[in-house]
Structure 1
Amino acid sequence: MHTGFRWQVPPSFNIAQACCRRWAKDGGGRTAIVYEHESGRRDTLSYADLLAQANRLSHALERLGVQPGDRVALVMPQRPETAIAHMAVYQMGAVAMPLSMLFGPEALAYRLSHSEAVVAIVDETSIANLRQARAECPALRHIVAVGDACGQGDVDWEAALARESALYVAQATRADDPAVLIYTSGTTGPPKGALIPHRALIGNLPGFVASQNWFPREGDVFWSPADWAWTGGLMDALLPTLYFGQPIVAYQGRFSPEKAFELMERYKVTNTFLFPTALKAMMKAVPAPRERYRLALRAIMSAGEAVGDAVFAYGRDQLGVTINEMFGQTEINYIVGNCGEFVDAAGRVHPGWPAKPGSMGRPYPGHRVAVIDDNGQVCPPGVPGDVAVHRRDIHGDPDPIFFLGYWKNEEATRAKFTGDPDDAWCRTGDTAVMDEEGYLWYQGRSDDVFKAAGYRIGPSEIENCLVKHPAVANAAVVPKPDPERGAVVKAYVVLAPGHVGGATLVEDLQQHVRGRLAPYEYPKEIEFIEALPMTTTGKVQRRVLRLQEEERARHVAARGTGGRIGDPSPQ
């Protein structure tokens, strides 16, 4: 597949044309979005409906002064208006800037001000925070209020669309034109805005098709709890599903394991993207799902953290699906992963490559991926290094997956690459090992890997081992500063329902890890907490816990030398 695969990127390409307009013209009656609110309210939107509403919104935004290239903020959860807004902005040649409904006023103000967004479209989940942030956003001219937020902005969605035409002549955009501005999590410094071109969707497709076991098949229905405000929800779920003209389920409500299974059963979901965090919760809450639910699942993709063999076994044995792990990031998404085979209606076997429990998978066709060292040299098999993607594929053709750069941050853009700008490796900042067969084995973020007593420690292996214990719902491993050994391994553990922490359980968990991993990997200290700090994309923020340990160590050191400091963090 790698040898025969060639990119076909037309000079002109627009996401809205590919994901909406062409399907609306083809009869338009096929279902695009199936919507359910946690209150029980439901709705269905066809591709024709999606286009008509997007056309009306494009007119309304033009009336508000939005021009090609302008940033339009979308602060909404999974709901039809979110998909409509994306299509409307893309076909205008403007730039959609999705923002999480979980952002507070400060987070919203930074992104709105930094991006110089001219319009924000927001519903009841975020209208209060957005109004509070507005004073710090001088470029923000209009707020379009959606749903129960109507009356609290400058323009109401329904009233604005009602007076506009359902016909619209879309702007012709180049494949290289910007389409999306997504701000990264900001684990190291202020969040950076990654500017994504229209062509990046094409770059995502090989990985999406493969990780979803050759999507689409007749009758495929997609659902994921991933927020559409992030790359995982937008580029790994919403847009590629619409690109293939299939229906996607939009659920507006809080995630729970039981609700996830209910949705998948009710809507006969065949394909999904589930974070490891979600899968771990489902595994603990519903250990035998097929005894309670009638599922139609044929493919599960997972990304964000290492899946681990415990969750892998749960998918295989209890869900009846081999979980296809995937790896990517906002700037260069969907580059590595696994793929299962399937037999189509004509009896043809579409091959994949067997998943290895604990492996990130192999590079998807079209992407030249390697593990490189600090000097940009490719590491031999078995040697850890930085996962990187080359700007050009194995044929020397440009890879369309790449972002255009960081918004107003040329220095950070340059730092992302190693080598000549047109012939460079793009570093992911994630550490892995590649084996002889080309499979990648994740070791953690480069800044998460640490040394303890001279040994290099990757947290994911230890965390995966801890989660196999029935008392553990989730875990995060970080270094705890130690004056003699530099650092010791410490684990923060979230207990599964029905279990209580204490000295006996600490010793049991330590023995559990010691008997399965290397002696130097078992956690010398374990702390039980109610919840791990997480990003809004579902990734564990180990950095928060690491900084907490460093602050505690400073407190202990100051106390030992008679220094005066404030109260220590609560244990």
Structure 2
Amino acid sequence: MAEDRYEQLHGAFRWQVPADFNIAEACCGRWARDTPDAPAIYFDSESGCRAHYSYGQLQRAANRLSNALLNQGVRRGHRVAIVLPQRFETAVAHIAIQQIGAVAMPLSMLFGAEALEYRLQDSGAVLAIAACEALPALREVKARCPALRRIFVVGECPVDCDEMPWMEALQAEEARFKAVGTKAEDPAILIYTSGTTGNPKGALIPQRALIGNLTGFVASQNWFGFDPFDASKPSDAVFWSPADWAWTGGLMDALLPTLYFGRPIVAWQGRFSTAKAFELMAAYGVTHAFLFPTALKAMMKAEPRPKRHGLKLRALMSAGEAVGDAVFSWCRDALGVPVNEMFGQTEMNYVVGNCQALWPAKPGSMGRAYPGHRVAVIDDEGRESPPGETGEVAVNAYDRHGVPDPVFFLGYWNNEAATKAKFTGDWCRTGDLARSDRDGTLWYEGRADDVFKAAGYRIGPGEIENCLLKHPAVANAAVVPKPDAERGALVKAYVVLADGHAGDAALVEALQAHVKARLAPYEYPKEIEFIDALPMTTTGKVQRRVLRLREQERAAATA
């Protein structure tokens, strides 16, 4: 068992956040100057297309795109949507947008037209960079997004007069570009998060937030060097994660921190499968990875002897839901790499977790606050709860030394009320319930609100309910998690029918198709139950808790 160096690391750590900081310079510019031929992206795809890209190539492509964006009228502070899968062009887009001081807004390829429309309208995005597969949905909503001037299209597909092929846009520009200077406090990324009620909220992430993520990254990957500006790193490290680069997990936990340390990351454009996971890790010599518990469970069932693949894996992080004892034991004993669990949110990411190399983990726990972060369990008034007592996990705006924590978001886009509601004094609430040990180890107890995780995805019932309500057969709806041994939970909808409609199998399929066509595939209800009336409070609010408990009781009875 590793020596417990937790208190030593926390006590010695100090944030070093310069007044001037830019993600593009930190993740590409300095490496393009110092080690231009070093590999940055290993691209692989289901179609069989493979390519390796260096930091020099990444910088030159980003320079061309920055020039192209400026020529399209994109300026500092403008929002630029990125609707791309894991591929070289995605990394190029992020570097190019940061170089001009604009704000990158990653959007999932899984989003339907309705989900895209809301985010494009709410953000006022002026330009979108999208894969050709996302083009039909973007074309459907573009007329209703007045700020959206142009779409750059990545891939082989016909474009119209309002769109521009990626290669044509880049080839017309110089490969030289002088990046603008940005402050650490300047906005860099806008990521929309789902809530329990109403529409998704856009969390505005500053340049400095990348620095705030680094202690969690190096700890969860057993990757030493807690000084964020110490470029020391494993010289042979190769990173891979199937996490979508459009989400915080893929962008802030994988792509950007890997590039920050000047190492290569594998970009896999395709569906996840256990066979492909082992194949990729073996083929590219992956040493560090981030895999969701759902993926690890599937890999465990498919491969009892993973070491036969000749993997070079040295560290593994997992997040999104509890790993559990069985997966923890398989990673440690069969895979030979104890997993480091991690916890965070888009608003303040990578704040709690484990580091097997520096302090012993307690299987099943969330871990402890990473160096530089002050995390506690608090009550409704914002007071720290004693050990063993359940409360809400919260992160303080200041570390234990009284220094501002750089990991925090700037606020919700155009939603000051929601931003204020997130805080109680200096404590930023996560909405997750936990209890703590005397040493600060946190044990997850559940959600304080109704957001839940299904197969690693964060599900906000409000957006799904709103979508269901737009169907003429639906009078009211409530979405809750249904316990599932494989995925942790399934999305289940309770539906009150409008007059004149019958709740039969055909309507279930119609409602599922209705949601699939408008939101992400993982958001559609896998099960729909028709009900005469939803449980309501005296003030007219749906009591989702009653429905959640019903599902838990049914699952327990079945088991």
Alignment deviations for residues 455-481 of structure 1 (CA, whole Å, 9 cap, x no partner): xxxx99xx9xxx9xxxxx99x9x9xxx
1:174-253 paired onto structure 2 within 5 Å: 174-214=183-223, 216-253=233-270
Residue equivalent to 2:391: 385
Cα distance in 2, alignment partners of residues 539 and 332 from structure 1 = 26
**Cα deviation, residue 4, structure 1:** 1.0
1:330-409 paired onto structure 2 within 5 Å: 330-341=346-357, 352-409=358-415
CA RMSD of aligned residues (A): 3.0
Cα distance in 2, alignment partners of residues 537 and 79 from structure 1 = 23
Cα distance in 2, alignment partners of residues 410 and 234 from structure 1 = 25
Cα distance in 2, alignment partners of residues 106 and 537 from structure 1 = 6
Cα distance in 1, alignment partners of residues 519 and 294 from structure 2 = 10
**Cα deviation, residue 445, structure 1:** 1.5
Cα distance in 2, alignment partners of residues 187 and 339 from structure 1 = 32
**Cα deviation, residue 492, structure 1:** 3.9
Residue equivalent to 1:493: 484
Cα distance in 2, alignment partners of residues 259 and 178 from structure 1 = 37
Alignment deviations for residues 433-464 of structure 1 (CA, whole Å, 9 cap, x no partner): 11112111111221259xxxxxxxxx99xx9x
Q: Structure 1 residue aligned with 2:313, among 294, 297, 300? A: 297
Q: Residues 495 and 178 (structure 1 numbering): CA distance in 2 closer, same or farther, change over 3 Å?
A: closer
Q: Residues 201 and 539 (structure 1 numbering): CA distance in 2 closer, same or farther, change over 3 Å?
A: farther
Residues 34 and 45 in structure 1, CA contact (< 8 A), matched pair in contact too: yes
Cα distance in 2, alignment partners of residues 11 and 281 from structure 1 = 45
* TM score, norm. by length of structure 2: 0.80
Residue equivalent to 1:313: 329
1:3-42 paired onto structure 2 within 5 Å: 3-42=11-50
Cα distance in 1, alignment partners of residues 194 and 72 from structure 2 = 30
Q: Structure 2 residue aligned with 1:170, among 172, 179, 190? A: 179
Cα distance in 2, alignment partners of residues 312 and 448 from structure 1 = 27
- 1:111 pairs with 2:111: no
1:384-463 paired onto structure 2 within 5 Å: 384-419=390-425, 424-447=426-449
Q: Structure 2 residue aligned with 1:83, among 88, 91, 94? A: 91
Equivalent residue letter for 1:185? S
**Cα deviation, residue 174, structure 1:** 0.3
* TM score, norm. by length of structure 1: 0.78
Q: Residues 539 and 282 (structure 1 numbering): CA distance in 2 closer, same or farther, change over 3 Å?
A: farther
Cα distance in 2, alignment partners of residues 163 and 149 from structure 1 = 19
Equivalent residue letter for 2:243? A
Cα distance in 1, alignment partners of residues 519 and 360 from structure 2 = 27
Residue equivalent to 2:273: 256
Cα distance in 2, alignment partners of residues 170 and 230 from structure 1 = 25
- 1:124 pairs with 2:132: yes
**Aligned residues: percent identity?**
61
Alignment deviations for residues 152-208 of structure 1 (CA, whole Å, 9 cap, x no partner): 561111011111111101000000000000000334321000000000000000000
Residues 304 and 539 in structure 1, CA contact (< 8 A), matched pair in contact too: no
- 1:102 pairs with 2:110: yes
Residue equivalent to 1:60: 68
Q: Residues 31 and 403 (structure 1 numbering): CA distance in 2 closer, same or farther, change over 3 Å?
A: same
**Cα deviation, residue 539, structure 1:** 13
Q: Structure 1 residue aligned with 2:78, among 66, 70, 77? A: 70
Alignment deviations for residues 503-535 of structure 1 (CA, whole Å, 9 cap, x no partner): xxxxxxxxxxxxxxxxxxxxxxxxxxxxxx99x
Q: Residues 412 and 491 (structure 1 numbering): CA distance in 2 closer, same or farther, change over 3 Å?
A: closer
Cα distance in 2, alignment partners of residues 490 and 100 from structure 1 = 22
Cα distance in 2, alignment partners of residues 490 and 127 from structure 1 = 32
Cα distance in 2, alignment partners of residues 101 and 167 from structure 1 = 30
More deviation, 213-222/255-264: 213-222
Equivalent residue letter for 2:449? D
Residues 196 and 450 in structure 2, CA contact (< 8 A), matched pair in contact too: no
Equivalent residue letter for 1:35? F
Q: Residues 383 and 555 (structure 1 numbering): CA distance in 2 closer, same or farther, change over 3 Å?
A: closer
Q: Secondary structure at the match of 1:283?
A: helix
Residues 241 and 254 in structure 2, CA contact (< 8 A), matched pair in contact too: yes
Cα distance in 2, alignment partners of residues 490 and 151 from structure 1 = 41
Residues 305 and 334 in structure 2, CA contact (< 8 A), matched pair in contact too: yes
Equivalent residue letter for 1:173? T
**Cα deviation, residue 130, structure 1:** 1.1
Equivalent residue letter for 1:493? D
Equivalent residue letter for 2:112? G
Q: Secondary structure at the match of 2:12?
A: coil
Equivalent residue letter for 1:178? P
More deviation, 94-103/210-219: 210-219
Cα distance in 1, alignment partners of residues 356 and 120 from structure 2 = 41
Alignment deviations for residues 517-560 of structure 1 (CA, whole Å, 9 cap, x no partner): xxxxxxxxxxxxxxxx99x999997x968x966x5474899xxx
Equivalent residue letter for 2:440? G
Cα distance in 1, alignment partners of residues 364 and 94 from structure 2 = 35
Residues 123 and 149 in structure 1, CA contact (< 8 A), matched pair in contact too: no
Residue equivalent to 2:472: none
Residues 222 and 272 in structure 1, CA contact (< 8 A), matched pair in contact too: yes
Alignment deviations for residues 257-286 of structure 1 (CA, whole Å, 9 cap, x no partner): 111111001101000001111111111222
Residue equivalent to 2:154: 146
Q: Residues 433 and 539 (structure 1 numbering): CA distance in 2 closer, same or farther, change over 3 Å?
A: farther
1:471-486 paired onto structure 2 within 5 Å: none
Cα distance in 1, alignment partners of residues 519 and 531 from structure 2 = 28
Residue equivalent to 1:348: none
Q: Secondary structure at the match of 2:398?
A: coil
Residue equivalent to 1:280: 297
Residue equivalent to 1:135: 143
| Count of residues paired in the alignment | 473
Alignment deviations for residues 322-354 of structure 1 (CA, whole Å, 9 cap, x no partner): 10000000000000000022xxxxxxxxxx111
Residue equivalent to 2:464: none
Unaligned runs of 5+ in 2: 1-8, 225-232, 462-479, 488-514, 537-554
Cα distance in 1, alignment partners of residues 520 and 239 from structure 2 = 19
